[in-house]
Amino acid sequence: MKISKSLAIPAWTGTLILVICAASLSYQSALNHGFLSWDDYLYVYQNAQIKGLGLSNLYWMATTFHGSNWHPLTWLSHALDYAIWGLNPWGHHLTNVLLHIANSLLVIPLTILLMAAVNQPISGDRDPLQVTWPMLLAGGFSGLLFAVHPQHVEVIAWIAERKELLCCFFYLLCLIGYLFYARDGCRLWRHLALLSFALALTAKPMAVSLPLVLLLLDVYPLNRMAGSQWRERVALLREKLGFFLLSLAVMLLTLLAQGQWGSIKSLDEVDLIQRLLNAANSLVFYLQKWLLPQALSPFYPYPDWIREPNGLALLPILAVMAITLLAVREWIAGRRFWLIAWLYYLITLAPVLGIVQVGGQAAADRYAYLPTLSFYVLAGAGVGWLLATRWRWLTIAMGTLAVVILVVLTRWQTAVWENDTTLWTAVIRYYPNRAAVAYHNLANVSFNQGQYEQAILLAQKSLDIEPDYPSALLNLSVFYERLGDFEQATRQYGLLLSKGFDQAEVLIRMGGLRRRQGHYDEAQRLYREALGIAPDRADALYGLALIDNHLNRFDQAELFLQQALARNPDYADALLLLAMLQHRRGAWELAKASYRRALLLKPDDATTKHNLGVLEQMNP
């Protein structure tokens, strides 16, 4: 039944308002959250490059591999947020929520266009799109489900995941543009789809799978392959050449970025068998979390049966095979949408299945944001079909109940992301004896709060789970030092050196300990030894500058600081010390510039604010 013209605008308006209200209710509490120490510092509050929109900032955004990825649009988004909100986390969270609402709204026309491609075959050029009540209700339910599903919380509540939201927004625009192009043949739609795809890639490289998805749509529901001669099929491939070239370029840039940042795990850390087993498990895992969104964790460690494979490792493989065979059987029976939805899921999830392992997690909820899209479309289409049967009232009741439950679960899951303590406590609740990273990060929280003994206990618990965890071993040395146990701290550093961990890092930490103890000659030796191993370590040069400053060798200290800042322009402590030295020798304009740069990185630093204020009063 087609929607009458008199009801069209109210129907569309009501659908959009419902989705907006449901998403807003689900994520309202996220607006009160602060920044997390888990990557938010990298993207926002300690990143001076996003705190300006000058040519140098824009050049950095366009060329940097900072954060293991090339995603200039994401950097620009954070820079615009900073220009509007400064370091008020409320505004940064608001942008994430608004982007998610926009994505949820885009799911509505996408679902309608896909259903139209199935139910309204094109009989001529530029056939008008006939939107019926079942199609609108199906699209509305798909968008509503997408808006409130708790599996999405990680992407919305974590400011650092802006890249996923932006990528999905332009990914959806590309799909919608392509469906319009396939429907009426207007080349403008294809150009808009290509532009949207390019923007999706500049937000996050996960969009590289999109050209394959377009070919999938050509097969079904667009049926552009049906009855085509080989020349016509080559033409379909040729029209996507630009998409494939963009994908290839971004894949190469991403591998280069992750290699430079050391994010890619070697086969010694996670062997090939483990990666393949985890890939199969992830395919089942994300589907299971979509169907039953409980025990959602910010971090999922590798299951024991993957680290040491046993018979359980076969179950996910068998499950994937069974789902694939069932989908193929449905295809043969004429119900093609099951196989297409499953193939879309496989294709879009492929880049994050861990074959090229980045990070220490086995899976992450953020990876499911885009790949589960086909399931939301199927769910909406199913509801649209049921509403046309005698089960309509039961469908409405069950659909309403499901949405209410999901809103409650999403609000509860959003609270997990309130701060570092709630975040890592939730991980420990689910994985008390497997998540070394959670205890390590909680140890850092305790340390920053001055609870040094508690920090030591948590770090030791982390090492009980993973004895060779480098970050925990390094930080434990710092905790002992702050507690005043220099002997134990020194012993810990010696242990790290004997285990062959990052030699330069350990030497720099040892140099810092000796410097604070007043053993300047030994500290200088350790810093220089570290520079011999890693010449680009700005913190070693900063340590040498601190020693020279203490010994009143101010010119030499300033030289070391300039060298440190040449290696790391965003080194706030080095900028602050340089400003003080410039201030001391009367270079007031240089000092003010250095203080201002330091304030961009540490906006709450009282010493910097005071010194800059004194200078500006002396020399406005």
Q: How far is CA 283 from CA 213, 350, 373, 414, in A?
A: 17, 9, 14, 24
pLDDT band for 572, please (50, 70, 90 cuts).
Answer: confident
CA–CA separation, 1 vs 131, rounded Å? 9
pLDDT band for 215, please (50, 70, 90 cuts).
Answer: very high
Cβ atoms of residues 299 and 437 within 8 Å: yes
Cβ atoms of residues 206 and 352 within 8 Å: yes
What SS3 class is residue 358? strand
CA–CA separation, 37 vs 19, rounded Å? 32
Exposure pattern of 537-564 as b/e (b: 16+ CB <10 Å)?
bbbbbbbbbbbbbeeeeeeebbebbebb
User: What average pLDDT does the segment 558-572 reach?
Assistant: 88
Neighbouring residues of 611: CB distance < 8 A, sequence distance ≥ 6: 579, 580, 583, 591, 595
pLDDT for 540 beyond 70: yes
CA–CA separation, 562 vs 569, rounded Å? 9
Q: Looking at residue 228, what is its pLDDT?
A: 65
Cβ atoms of residues 507 and 529 within 8 Å: yes
**Torsion sign (Cα): 551, 556, 562, 563:** negative
User: What average pLDDT does the segment 512-525 reach?
Assistant: 90
Whether the link from the prior residue into 10 is cis, omega within 30° of 0, is no
CA–CA separation, 344 vs 214, rounded Å? 10
Neighbouring residues of 162: CB distance < 8 A, sequence distance ≥ 6: 43, 74, 77, 78, 95, 96, 99
Q: Looking at residue 356, what is its pLDDT?
A: 65
DSSP-derived secondary structure for 304-335: HHHHTT-GGGHHHHHHHHHHHHHHHHHHHTT-
pLDDT band for 113, please (50, 70, 90 cuts).
Answer: very high
Q: Looking at residue 7, what is its pLDDT?
A: 58
Residue 5: count of CB within 10 angstroms of its CB? 7
144-201 pLDDT, tens per residue? 999 999 999 999 999 999 999 999 999 999 999 999 998 887 889 999 999 999 999 9
418-442 pLDDT, tens per residue? 999 999 999 999 999 988 999 999 9
CA–CA separation, 577 vs 1, rounded Å? 73
Only one residue has tokens 């040395």, namely 477
pTM for the model:
0.89
What SS3 class is residue 2? strand
Only one residue has tokens 């996923």, namely 164
29-88 pLDDT, tens per residue? 999 999 998 888 889 888 888 888 989 889 999 988 887 788 999 999 999 999 999 989
User: What average pLDDT does the segment 594-603 reach?
Assistant: 79
Q: Looking at residue 269, what is its pLDDT?
A: 60
Q: Is the pLDDT higher at 609 or at 143? A: 143
pLDDT band for 570, please (50, 70, 90 cuts).
Answer: confident
Structure tokens at 199: 């923007």
Structure tokens at 209: 């799978």
CA–CA separation, 505 vs 527, rounded Å? 10
Beta bridge partners, 132, equal: 2
Only one residue has tokens 């304009």, namely 589
Reported as type and span, the H/E element at residue 469 is: none
Cβ atoms of residues 20 and 76 within 8 Å: no
Only one residue has tokens 């220490």, namely 360
Cβ atoms of residues 492 and 473 within 8 Å: yes
Q: Where are the domains of the chain?
A: 5-416
What percentage of the chain exceeds 90 in pLDDT?
A: 49
Q: Looking at residue 576, what is its pLDDT?
A: 87
